[in-house]
Amino acid sequence: MGSRILILDYGSQFTQLIARRVREARVYSEIHPPTRSLEWIRAWQPTGIILSGGPSSVYDDDGPSADLALLDVAPVLGICYGMHLIAHLEGGKVAPGPREYGRAELEILAPDGLFGGFDESERVTVWMSHGDHVETPPSGYEVTARSSTVQVAGMRHRTRPVFGVQFHPEVAHTPRGGEVIANFLFEVCGAEPTWTAGAFIDEEIGKIRRQVGTSRVICGLSGGVDSSVAAALVHRAIGDQLTCIFVDTGLLRLHERDQVERTFRAHLGIDLITVDASDRFLTALAGVSEPEEKRRRIGHTFIDVFEDAADQAGHDARFLVQGTLYPDVIESVSPHGGPSATIKTHHNVGGLKPGMKFELVEPLRELFKDEVRQVGRELGLPEEIVGRHPFPGPGLAIRVLSDVTREKLDTLRHADAIYLEGIREAELYDDIWQAFAVLLPVKSVGVMGDFRTYANVVGLRAVTSRDGMTADWYPFPHDVLARISSRIINEVRGVNRVVYDVSSKPPATIEWE
């Protein structure tokens, strides 16, 4: 077992970023709720422990806490609320104060440990987001950094590997935050940077073989990155025991079916069955506008199609491969308790149908999106698959912002293809995390030639992001947007207006539904 960092999530919006920064340093990390028992944590054998920030106060009646003995299990780094908790448990004083949110200037007082490589009295920019602060460190602790508003912006125990920082080293707004995290990982914890795509593949192949034995396995391919990499990884592990089923739902992008069949049959030699179930999905979606109900119906129909296709192919399949990613299994809301793994209903196969006959194989459930791409490249998947923008499991159904019909899907599919083609022609595709079109549930008045029109509105969305957890809208050159808009209006029948979404995440989400 290699080095691994346990992150206890006290409710910070940045907790996943902590895990990402640790993984970027090639050290494995996992996020768990603070309700994990001390016995469980000891059995997990962490190389180091990070206590995240959070919105609570250590004085809240129901505020999440920790066993004091946690500080002796492994080296500990407390961030924001995590630092307050360390101080509170150890007998220091945490005081309320005015809310501080934004950039601050940090003065380094102890240029070693977490701040190894910094200079004494050096001033660096950091990101603060807090109300409470540590007013008096516990006995045995010393102050390692301060700011103009917080006299204890960093602290450490004099003899034990226990550290705390008031700022957030995990966010991009703390330019040298990566150095702080690396110092904790390598200088304090003695971790080894062995978390790589190749090491993951080798370990996961063994897990897959132990799980499925000699049983038959099916994988539902969507054409997206996640299901494609999951299929390639499982195929590497069990070869001809795997049969992939590509379902043409009628909710796919233009030419999706041709690309999947070409890649998986011709290039990878994987047993592939293609099922045209577009009528079945459109019937299931008839008259449905509510997004969650769309997801549920699509998910259940997927399972039905898988079962029927497997039966017709003569395969007595016991396992179903699903491309679940790590953000899908992290508990998203409750730092106070509850299960540590919840699966979003829209992920890949959608809502899992109660009583389905398959057991799940989820080889990517430990990975973030960019790690999945690295694994895909290591497995030899072509860049046209690995480098694709994310595409939701329910497909275009959740980009038609009303009830779903074949006519609406064809309109959206055509507009979306023109949009992506325009981005590629401008050589901007790889600069963008995700770009897509949506068909809005409104019509607008327009004029084409000498005729008044009353037609559809298409919305365009493009964002930049590191991992999809936060995102900024992409600032297209105006001439590129103008060309794309003109083509859509001229070439897509029934569209007379194009708008561009300039919302960031948060407060918006990337998808509209």
Digitized pLDDT (tens) for each residue of the chain, 513 residues in all: 689 999 999 998 889 889 999 999 999 999 999 999 999 999 999 999 999 999 888 988 888 999 999 999 999 999 999 999 999 999 999 998 777 788 899 999 999 999 999 999 889 999 998 888 999 999 999 999 999 889 999 999 999 999 999 999 999 889 999 999 999 999 999 999 999 999 999 999 999 999 999 998 988 887 788 989 999 999 999 999 999 888 899 999 998 888 888 878 776 788 888 999 999 999 999 999 999 999 999 989 988 887 788 777 666 788 989 888 887 776 443 444 433 333 334 344 344 556 667 889 999 998 988 899 999 999 988 888 898 898 888 899 999 999 999 999 999 999 999 999 999 999 999 999 999 999 999 988 877 665 677 889 999 999 998 767 778 999 999 999 999 999 999 999 999 999 999 999 988 999 998
Spatial distance between the Cα atoms of 388 and 386, rounded to a whole number of angstroms: 6
Residue with tokens 């780094």: 77
Which of 170, 204, 366, 378 is catalytic? The answer is: 170
| Per-residue pLDDT, 337 | 44
Which residues is 451 bridged to in the sheet?
A: 448
Q: Are 15 and 52 in contact (CB under 8 A)?
A: yes
Asked if 244 is an active-site residue, the reply is no
CA distance 174 to 14: 13
**pLDDT at residue number 144:** 96
Say what the pLDDT of residue 470 is: 78
Residue 34: per-residue pLDDT: 94
Among residues 32, 80, 157, 256, the one annotated as catalytic is 80
Amino acid of residue 30: E
In angstroms, the CA 209 to CA 384 distance is 28
Quick check: bond before 137 cis, omega within 30?
no
Phi-psi region of 284 (alpha: psi -120 to 50; beta: other; left: phi over 0): alpha
Check residue 213 and give left, alpha or beta (phi > 0: left; psi -120 to 50: alpha): left
Distance CA 481, CA 246 (A): 34
Choice among 32, 88, 130, 168 that is catalytic: 168
Has 157 been annotated as catalytic? no
Known catalytic membership, residue 170: yes
What angle (nearest 5°) sits at the alpha carbon of residue 414, between those of residues 413 and 420?
A: 85
